[in-house]
Structures are given as C-alpha cells and as structure tokens.
Structure 1
Amino acid sequence: MALESPPPQRARRGTKALDSLILLLLMLGLWQAVGSWTQGVAVSPPLQTFLYLADLMTQSGFWGHVAATMAAFLMAFAISAVLGLGLGLVFGLRRFAGDVAEPVLAGFYTIPKVTLYPVVLLIFGLGTSAKVAFGVMHGLVPITLLTLGAVRNLPATLLRTARVLRLPPGKTMAWILVPACLPDIISGLRLSFSLSLLGVLIGEMFSSQRGLGFLLVSGMAQHNIPLSTAVVLLIVIIAIGANMAMLRLSRRFTHRKA
C-alpha cells in the first residue's frame, strides 16, 4: 500500500518552521561569535543575556520601566492608527486634497525626526506627552499613505455604487472603503507599530527617567553591556512577536479578499 503524501499546506508549514529554526540558530551562532570575539565588551553572549534578562524580570523596578514604555507606546500607536486611518480615507476620497497632502507627508517622512526633538520638547515639555508625540511623528505617516494609496486603487464601481445608494461619507468609509482596503490598512498598521515603538524609545533615550529607552542609555553610560543587551533583546522579542501576529492577520484577510 502506497504511503499518502502529506497535504501541501502541511508541507509548507513544516518547511517554514524548519527555515525559521535554521535562521534562529544562525542568528544565535552569529551573536555568540560576536560576543566571544569582543569578549563581552560590545555585546554580551546569548546565555549571559538571557540569564540577565531573567534576573531583571524578577525585579519590580524593571516592570515599572516596561509599563512606562508600553503606556506611552500604546497611546502613540492608537493615535497614529486612528488619525492615520481617518486622514488616509479622507485624502483618498478627496482627490485634490490627496494630491496636495501626499507630497507633503512624503517629504515630512524623509526628515530625520531626531532633528525635530527640540521643537517637541518646547511644545510638550518633558514626560510622557513628549514621548507620545515623538511616537506619533514616526507612526502616523505610513498608515496615512498606505490607506490613501489603497483607496485610490479601489475599483471605481465600488464608489459609484455608494453614490447610487446615496450612502453618507461615514457609511461609505465603514461599509465599503475599510473592508476593501483592509489588507493594506493592516500592512500600514504593521509599519506604524514598529515606527511608533521606535519613536517612543528614542524619546525615552533623550529626555526621560523611566522606560526601556532610559534603561538602554543608562546601560551604555555605565558600560553595563549585559543590561543594554538584555533590554535590546526584550525589545526585539516584543517587536517580532507583534509583527508576526499582524503579518498572519494580514495574510488571512488577503486570502479572504482573494
């Protein structure tokens, strides 16, 4: 009796899992090689870093820094997502407004945001508000531009149908534009997530006494390499986990749309 071949989908999942494992092992090997070559001066080795991070997680003060970063990040990401989605839908529907706003937003996106940090401090002062503002500055533009482009690339029949049905703008966005543009919107949210987190961390590195960015700078200033490496490792784990979840969600909606 001939053996049945595994389903193609199961075979693809097995291949992806194997590729991910190989990539992880290569990254750990490279990390170990760099840590051994520099003798822990620039980067602490993987085992030492994981042990140091596990010890940090047992300290209550460390979770206060994590909570400060997450609170500022969630506020920045929520503002970027809601405001960027709204602006993208409006600019996509209003052709002239979109033609004017698109090059302005693209030009702002190319500016190194660090150069604008003194202005942010003057307007918002020190504290959480400055970190949130800096996160929004990083995360707002990608979701706006991707949503704007998605609306412009929609089939014209969808908007014509909305006009024939005399749908108000709010219902047109909620019932037609958002479902049709959902894969692109989720892709924009993925970018906005990463860049908002980056903006908040940079804000903490410049002018904050709490947060993961502050811990990172403190470790660098004190030449505490295990602390800096452990904080970077935690940030990478959070970013990769969230990105994988949103990527899976994006693929699911893409397949459903297809």
Structure 2
Amino acid sequence: MRRLVENYPSLFLVVTLLIAWQITFWLVGRNALLPPGETILYLGKLLQTERFWGHIAETGMAFVIALMIAIVAGLAIGLMLGISRTAAEVFEPFLLAGNSIPKIALYPIVLLIFGIGMPAKIAFGAIHGVVPVAIFTLTACGSVPPILIRTAAAMRLTRWDMIRSVLLPAVLPDIFSGIRLGFSLTLIGTILGEMFGSQRGLGYLLMTAIGLQNIQVIMAVTLLLVIVAASVNGLLLRQDRRLRNPGS
C-alpha cells in the first residue's frame, strides 16, 4: 500500500477525495452536494460541448503564460539575490513580507493597471507564483557549499558561467520544489482572476454558476480543476524525487 501511494500519489489523492465526497454527500444530502458519479457524468457531457472547451482553452492559455512569467521572474530574482549575501540579507525580508500579503487585496490595483480580461488574470496568476519561486531559489542559493563558489572564483568564471555551471546544478532540486509550489499558486491566482475580472474561463464559469446556484456546474468544474491539479502535481513530485535521488 505504501509503495502504491508513493508511486501514484495523484491517483491516491483523487480516490481519497471521491470517497470523502461520497461520505459527505450521504451526510449533507443533495441540497448541498451532488454524488461523485452524477458529477462525473455531467462533466463528461460538458466536455462534449464546444463552449466548455472554449472556457478551458481560455484558462489554459492564461495559466501557462502566467506560470512562465512566474518561473522566469522568480528564478531571475532568486538568483540575482542569491549570488550576493548582502543583497540577500537586505531583500529577503521584503520577499517574505510580500509572500504574506493576501494577494486578493492587490486585485483592484491589477484591474486598474491591466483592465478586465486576459492581461489582468495573467498578471494576477503570476503574482501568486513568482514570490514562492524566488524564495525557494534564494534559499537554495544560500545553502550552496562555499567551496563551490570559491572554486568558481579561483577559476575566474564570469558571473553567468558561475550561475550556469555551478549554481544552477547545485540548487536545481530546491528550485524545482519552488516551481512545484508556484504551479499550484499560479493556478489558484489565475482562477481567482477569472472569477472577479473576466468574461471567459473556468473561473468565470464558476462565478456565474455560484450566482445561479447551479450545483451541477460548480461541482463539475471543481472536479475538473482538482483532477488536473492533482495529476500535474503528481508528475512534478515524481520528477522532484528523481532530482533529489538520481539513483532511485
């Protein structure tokens, strides 16, 4: 059983959630929830419609762009601060403080800058993901053995060569953990952005269904998001373990 959980964490998570969902349905009744089987069938019907795939494509495009921005910006910030102890000591508290700010409080500012639509939800998704990636990268750089840095200096490597040949290989596992966390937070940010400032996408569909009290759509979209998030996170977790244990 333990090996099954370790090898297929996403499958185990989805099955556990479905069991807990069915038990909760028995307890609270149809007024609050739909049973898993009925929701899966309804999701299957939605997936056969072109309109629903349009919402999926809108969310997918915004999320992918936001995730790329979060990864690139987070790595750049983390590496620039990580190679300088002084810069790390000065700016790390600002990163930690920024990570603790409820991002939803920034959404009105995002709307003022980008307006309603694709740019706003991309920006809001990226805001959620960039800080964790930067913090993990900065922390990883701080844990690099000093002998590696001194060796690179003795070999008179340029800063770029030192980052590419010494720093990145040493911190890659920790950076990947930050990317894994950034993936989840960016997805949350993108969905929230669609819920409050968009007219297309799964977040918009969720918000509309909540206003209409359409439990079928709410449960179906939520199930789809859980399956996608759990599946991708499972793949990322497996790759993370391979990076940390190359021989396993």
TM class, shorter-length: over 0.9
Aligned residues: 248
Question: Counterparts of 1:232 and 1:15 in 2: how far apart (Å)?
Answer: 23
Q: Which moved more, 1:84-93 or 1:39-48?
A: 39-48
Give the alignment of 1:28-39 within 5 angstroms: 28-39=18-29
Answer yes or no: is the 8 Å Cα contact 2:103–2:128 preserved in 1: yes
Larger relative contact order (Cα-Cα within 8 Å, sequence gap ≥ 6): 2
Question: Counterparts of 1:23 and 1:241 in 2: how far apart (Å)?
Answer: 9
The 1:206–1:23 alpha-carbon spacing in structure 2 relative to 1, beyond 3 Å, is closer
- Is 1:175 the counterpart of 2:187 in the alignment? no
Question: Counterparts of 2:115 and 2:213 in 1: how far apart (Å)?
Answer: 29
Answer yes or no: is the 8 Å Cα contact 2:65–2:122 preserved in 1: yes
Give the alignment of 1:53-202 within 5 angstroms: 53-202=43-192
Q: Which has the larger radius of gyration?
A: 1
User: Which of the residues 213, 220, 231 maps onto 2:203?
Assistant: 213
Question: Counterparts of 1:12 and 1:22 in 2: how far apart (Å)?
Answer: 11
Q: Partner residue of 1:232? A: 222
The 1:32–1:134 alpha-carbon spacing in structure 2 relative to 1, beyond 3 Å, is same
Q: Which moved more, 1:33-42 or 1:122-131?
A: 33-42
Deviation at 1:207, TM superposition (A): 1.1
Deviation at 1:42, TM superposition (A): 2.1
Could you tell me which runs of 5 or more consecutive residues in structure 2 were left unpaired when the two chains were aligned. none
User: What do you get for the CA RMSD once the two structures are aligned?
Assistant: 2.0
Three-state SS of the structure 2 residue aligned to 1:181 is helix
Could you tell me which runs of 5 or more consecutive residues in structure 1 were left unpaired when the two chains were aligned. 1-10
Deviation at 1:122, TM superposition (A): 0.5
Deviation at 1:94, TM superposition (A): 1.3
Partner amino acid, structure 2, of 1:207:
G
Question: Counterparts of 2:141 and 2:13 in 1: how far apart (Å)?
Answer: 37
Question: Counterparts of 1:215 and 1:202 in 2: how far apart (Å)?
Answer: 11
Q: Partner residue of 1:6? A: none
The 1:66–1:26 alpha-carbon spacing in structure 2 relative to 1, beyond 3 Å, is closer
Deviation at 1:97, TM superposition (A): 1.4
Deviation at 1:243, TM superposition (A): 0.6
* TM-score normalized by the length of structure 2: 0.94
Question: Counterparts of 2:83 and 2:173 in 1: how far apart (Å)?
Answer: 18
